Amino acid sequence: MLTVLAVAAMGAVGSLGSTAPALASTASFDVSVYHSTGVLSGRMTGDFRRLNQSVTITNIEQWVRAGECSYGSFEGWQYNPTGGSPHLDTRTSRKRCASANTWFEPEDFTLDAKGVTGGINTVQIYLIDGEHGRDGYGEGVR
């Protein structure tokens, strides 16, 4: 089962909600990014499911405020509390810009552990508003 954490980073809040395990450990994520004024500029939601050593990201929806742009970055790690935590894979969604408040549906993808024993046990999720230097952050830990 994946345990999910809510983390505040650089003025943005990301939250993740856990769901009951099915055939594989499953959790949902909900990460938002805000302007320094507190106005929501983007939000990304979806699910991640651990399959053997890899993690599949599915059901992704990304909301972008009118006149704004943002993109998601997903990192798979094998976290080791005593150090030496290898970064195993990264996927980045396409930058989305909106002329009106818009929901986009990026394609599903898999973070691959590349045969590393134990596989991915931590997923870091960033929603990035590069124009304003703001990030939303969430993390899922098995």
Q: How far apart are CA 5 and CA 140, in angstroms?
A: 6
Count CB atoms within 10 A of the CB of residue 96.
19
Tens of pLDDT, residue by residue, the chain (142 residues):
443 433 333 333 444 444 333 346 788 999 999 988 999 999 999 999 988 889 999 999 999 999 999 999 999 999 988 888 899 999 999 999 999 999 999 999 999 998 898 899 999 999 999 888 899 999 888 7
State the pTM of this model: 0.80
Per-residue CA distances from 101 to 77, 91, 113, 136 (Å) = 33, 25, 36, 18
Residue 84 DSSP one-character state: -
